[in-house]
Structure 1
């Protein structure tokens, strides 16, 4: 029988030490190993929870390890991490069971180190209520410990959004996300899908921002459901859904999606256009375009044309042909930490600065493909204003033939509208953080 905690340790090693994507490696292990539903849920909870609270967990461990976490064996460290997560953040697992399982698991690596594991965990249990973890730092340090974020990221959110909004971003980025699906208007209507899901035992509710959004509050894997397999629904966050809605697409338009994979927005655009016109879905990697084709086929979409191109490089055939050009550019992903908590530990300031150059190259290149009176839509899943607001101001300054067109999706507590017209969506219980700007080409 597969040991759930051992599987979690293996997954964490790949994510934290081999830079693997949590969702991909988790899916690989869950599909490969003989696990029942409860084990799958437990592993998922431990992996994402440990990634989410790694800063806080490591700070605690540093209090009990003479040489700190940096010199500890990777497997032993991850055994300790998942154990502190369970002891601090879960109340459904008995404390003695957490400690015993950790010790037995560490014995496979080293009997000597198993004694260390036992000592650290029991020491934590004795002192957790009398040691003021994280209470002695400055204001930023306390926020780092409370919400488990690296210092540079806390400083970025506080400096760009102020203390109140900045702390809300930190807090909401730790919310465990629900699954949101988009109803495919080419195949089904909203009520039909709602009823079918309820009949299948799902607890559902209406989306917050988009009329075609439906939130899965409780239920089995949605991608195993026949409605998903038959293309009636597709998994997509509501913030991402808003992009296609904001583009104002109409039947028989020509639309270019320069950074398309895995195709969620391209397919949504096609649905809104009634599968008419042309949607050019482009990506740098052929294997990612295969995902676009797979999604389009499942959803019954025929008007998507896939193209393997580099969004930074000019392609003459696209010069001035598009009614709408979407650039959902590569970004730091600071708005989707709810779903990919390892972003806290895999991003840094230098990597963001490198991204800004790429984003601006894509913007300039994409602008050449927009026809007169056409629109250029810029979106990211980050909350970093250097990649969002500052990029838009830079682009408009360099390209006076484009002007911002105001976006208004209604009054929501988590949406910030800039006077210039673009919008920032803050992470909340049901949506990821996102940024969208729409620019019209006047000449």
Structure 2
């Protein structure tokens, strides 16, 4: 019989040691190993929870282990991390069961190390109410411990957004996200999807802003539901849905989506255009383009034209050819930590600085494809202002033929409207962090 905690340790090893994507490797192991529904849920909880609170957990372990935890056996360290997560953040699993499971699992590695695991966890339980590590240091250090962020990332949010909003970003980035789906208006009406999901035992509510957004509060895996398989719905965060809505789309337009994969925005654009006109779905990677094709086929989207090329490199056929150009550029992803908590540990300042050059190259190149009076839309799923506000300000200064158009969805607590016109969506219960700017070409 496969031990779900053993599966969780395997996933954590791939994510933390090999920089694998949590959602991809988790899905792979869940599909490969014969786990029942309850055990699949436990593995998912342990993986995402441990990744989410790794900084805090490691700080605790540091105070109970004399040696450098970075030099410990990786599997033993992840067993300890996973166990402290259960003991500190989960209430349904009895403490003795957590410790016993950890000891038995670590015995597979080493009887000697299993004694270390037992000692550390029991020591933590004896002293959990008098921990000193959560009170050490300045205010920033305490935020890092409370919300489990490395100092440089916490400082980035606090410096760029101020203490109140910055702390809110830290807090809300730890929210366990609900699944949001987009109703495919090419195939079905919103009310029909709503009624069908209710009939099948799902607890649902309307999206916050987009009329086609529907939030799954509770229910079984939506991707196994016939509504998904038939293309009536697709999984997409509502922040991401906002992008197509700001594009002022009309039927029979020519639209370029230069960073298309996996195709959520391209297909949404096609749906809003009612399968008319042309939507060029472009991406650098051929294997990712196959995902766009699969999504379009399932959704009944017929007006996509597929292209594999580098968005930084000029393509002559698109010169002044598009009514709308979307560049959802590669970014640091600091707005989607809710869904991919490993971003806290896999990103660093150098990698973000390198992205800015790519983002600006894509923006300059994409601007050549916009018709006069056409529109260029820039979006990211990060909250780093260097990749967002500063990039747009730089571009407008270099390209005075483009002017920012104001974006306005109404009064929402998690949307920051900059006076220049672009918006920042902050993470909350229902939406990821996002940034969108819309620019019109006047000459």
TM range (shorter): over 0.9
The answer for the alignment partner of 1:264 in structure 2 is 264
With 369-378 and 129-138 compared, the bigger mean Cα shift is at: 129-138
Aligned to 2:145: 145
Deviation at 1:68, TM superposition (A): 2.6
Aligned residue for 2:440?
440
TM-score (norm 1): 1.00
8 Å contact from structure 1 (residues 204, 215) kept in 2: yes
Structure-2 residue corresponding to 1:304: 304
Measure the CA separation in 1 of the matches of 2:7 and 2:313: 42
Match of 2:37? 37
- Rounded to whole Å, the distance in 2 between the matches of 1:18 and 1:136 is 32
Query: In the alignment, which residue of structure 2 is the partner of 1:429?
Result: 429
Structure 1 Cα separation of the partners of residues 209 and 151 of structure 2: 32
Task: Report the Cα offset of residue 412 of structure 1.
Answer: 0.1
Partner of 1:70: 70
Q: Which residue of 2 aligns with 1:332?
A: 332
Aligned length: 443
Q: Distance in 1 between matches of 2:252 and 2:113?
A: 66
Equivalent-residue separation in structure 2 for 1:72 and 1:173 (angstroms): 29
Is contact 1:4-1:42 (8 Å) kept? yes
The gaps in structure 1 that reach 5 residues or longer are none
Deviation at 1:137, TM superposition (A): 1.2
Name the structure 2 match of 1:126. 126
Is 1:214 equivalent to 2:214 in the alignment?
yes
Please report how far the alpha carbon of residue 133 of structure 1 lies from its aligned counterpart in structure 2 after TM superposition.
2.5
8 A Cα contact 1:259 1:328, kept in partner = yes
> The residue matched to 2:171 in structure 1 has which SS?
helix
Describe the superposition over 1:66-118 as per-residue Cα deviations: whole angstroms up to 9, x where unpaired. 11311100000000000000000000000000000100100000111000000
Which residues in structure 2 correspond to 1:386-397 (within 5 Å)? 386-397=386-397
Deviation at 1:131, TM superposition (A): 2.2
Q: Work out the CA distance in 2 between the residues paired with 1:413 and 1:222.
A: 28
| Residue in structure 2 matched with residue 400 of structure 1 by the alignment | 400
The residue that corresponds to 1:23 in the other structure is 23
Return the alpha-carbon distance in structure 2 between the equivalents of residues 68 and 5 of structure 1. 24
**Match in the other structure for 1:244:** 244
- How far apart, CA to CA, are the structure 2 residues paired with 1:130 and 1:262? 47
Instruction: State the Cα deviation string for residues 345-390 of structure 1 (Å, max 9, x = none).
Output: 0000000000000000000000000000000000000000000000
Q: Distance in 2 between matches of 1:209 and 1:388?
A: 22
RMSD: 0.5
Superposition pairs of residues 353-364 of structure 1, within 5 angstroms:
353-364=353-364
Superposed CA deviations along residues 157-211 of structure 1, whole A, max 9, x for unmatched, are 0000000000000000000000000000000011000001111111100001211
SS at match of 2:282: strand
Q: TM-score, normalised by structure 2?
A: 1.00
Q: Match for residue 281 of structure 1?
A: 281
4+ residue runs over 4 A deviation: none
**Does residue 1:371 correspond to 2:382, yes or no?**
no
The answer on whether the counterparts of 1:379 and 1:436 sit within 8 Å (CA) in structure 2 is yes
Q: Is the 8 A contact 1:61 1:68 kept in 2?
A: no
Secondary structure of the residue aligned to 2:118 is helix
Between the aligned partners of 1:107 and 1:231, the Cα distance in structure 2 is 47
Structure 1 residue matching 2:134: 3-state secondary structure: coil
Which string of whole-angstrom CA distances, capped at 9 and with x for unpartnered residues, describes residues 267-307 of structure 1?
A: 00000000000000000000000000000000001100110
